[in-house]
Structure 1
C-alpha cells in the first residue's frame, strides 16, 4: 500500500473559513488531482477516507468543506443551509472555485489535470464548476442530478458520470430525466448509472444521528459506485508513473 500524507487546510469561501482535508500520495512528483465534495451534512470521515483511498491510487485529493468546519447532524439545520445553497449556482461555484484553487496551488498537484467528484450537495458543486467552464478532465456525481441555468451546460468540457439509486425520492425519475435531457442537449459526454433498489445517500455508511426519510445505506451498491468512480478517473485522468 502506498504511503499517504494527510493534513487539514483552511481557506475562505462563502463567508466562512472552510476546513478541507488534503491527501498526498508517496513521492515528490506532480500527480493528477481530484476534488471530493461531501453530502449536504458536510465533510466527514467518509470523504476523508475517500481522499486517502484516491491518494493510495496516486492522486492528490482534496475533500472540500461546505459549512465552515461544521457537520450538520440536525436534518432541519442541514436543509436550512443547503436548500438556499442549491438554489444559488453562483454560491456553489464560489465554494467550488475556492477549493479548486487550494488544490491546484498544492505543489504536488498538476493544475492542468484535475477532476471533481461529489456526493449530494458536493456533487452539485462539482457540476456547477463544469457549467462555469472550468477545465476539468472528469466530473463524477452520486445523488446529484441537479440541473443548471438554461444553456450553461454547454460549457462542460469533460465527461460526466452520474450515479443514483432507483428508489431515491430526492432524485426521482423526473429529476433524472431533466438532468439527462440537459446533458444531452448540451452535447456532453454523459453516463447515468441507476443502482437498483438503492435509496438516497446509498453510498454513505450508517450514521448515529437522525436522517431524512428516503435515505439508506446499500453496501453492495456503495462498493459498485466507488469502483465506477475509480474507473472514470482511470479513463479520464490516468495516473502515469
Structure 2
C-alpha cells in the first residue's frame, strides 16, 4: 500500500501558504507530525521528510513559511526571517495555522501530534510549545532558539534539539542559553551536538549561493534524521492497534 500526498493552501502571516500533506496507507486515524522548513522555505527536503513519515504511519504536514516561495537569495531570506524570528506571536500564528490544517485532516488523531522542524521551522515548533500547545514531542535541528522569560514552563512534552558543533548561528553561547532555559523550566530535554557539522548540515546543496558557516554533512544528516524518527517512535508511536484497524 502506498502513501497519498497533496498540496494544501491556507492563510497565515498575511500570505497564502502552500503546504505538503502526506497521508499513510489505510483509513484509520493516525498520529500526526508538523514538519517545519529551514529559513529559505519549504523545499523538497521537507516534502521528502513528510513522505517518509507517512510511510512510517504518520499523517505529516510540511508547512510553508513564505507564501509558496523558496527564498534562495540569502539577503532576501534574512530580510524576512530575522523580523519573524524576533516576533514570537508571528511565529506562533504561522504554527497555529499549520496545526489547524493538520488537525482538520480526517486521518489525524488530533490528540496525538508532534512538531519537528529545521532552523526557522524548528523555532516555530518551539514557540508552539512555549504557547502551551498540547504536543507529544518537539524535535528541532539548527534551532536552539530561546523564548521570552518564563514561557518555556508551558512546554508540555519532551524537547530534542540537534545542532552542528561548528554552527556559527547556533553557536555555543546560544546552545548554552537554550539548555539553561529548558533546564530552568523543568522540561524533559536533550541536546545532541554533531561534531564538525555547520548550520543546515541536514540540507543537501541546492542552486543558491554558498553561505559561510552553512554546509551539508551527509553522515550527520542521516544520523539526525534517525534521531528525530527515534524521538517520534518514543513519544508518538504508531501503534500496532492502528494498523490492525486499517487492515480489518
* TM-score, with length taken from structure 2: 0.96
Structure-1 separation of matches of 2:210 and 2:107: 37
2:159 corresponds in structure 1 to 160
Q: Secondary structure at the match of 1:163?
A: strand
CA contact (8 A) 1:5 1:26 kept: yes
2:15 corresponds in structure 1 to 16
Give ranges in structure 1 of 5+ residues lacking alignment: none
The answer as to 2:134 corresponding to 1:140 is no
CA contact (8 A) 1:153 1:186 kept: yes
1:104 corresponds in structure 2 to 103
Aligned residues: 240
CA contact (8 A) 1:30 1:108 kept: yes
1:76 corresponds in structure 2 to 75
Structure-1 separation of matches of 2:169 and 2:69: 23
Structure 1 segments of 4+ aligned residues over 3 angstroms from their partners: none
1:1-241 → structure 2 map (5 Å cutoff): 2-240=1-239, 241=243
User: RMSD over aligned Cα, in angstroms?
Assistant: 0.5
CA contact (8 A) 1:114 1:237 kept: yes
Structure-2 separation of matches of 1:212 and 1:120: 15
Q: Secondary structure at the match of 2:2?
A: coil
Deviation at residue 211 of structure 1 after TM alignment: 3.8
Structure-2 separation of matches of 1:211 and 1:193: 26
Q: Secondary structure at the match of 2:35?
A: strand
Q: Secondary structure at the match of 2:61?
A: strand
Q: Secondary structure at the match of 2:167?
A: coil
Q: Secondary structure at the match of 1:35?
A: strand
Q: Secondary structure at the match of 2:34?
A: strand
Deviation at residue 212 of structure 1 after TM alignment: 2.3
CA contact (8 A) 1:164 1:171 kept: yes
Q: Secondary structure at the match of 1:33?
A: strand
Deviation at residue 213 of structure 1 after TM alignment: 1.0
Deviation at residue 208 of structure 1 after TM alignment: 1.4
Q: Secondary structure at the match of 2:206?
A: coil
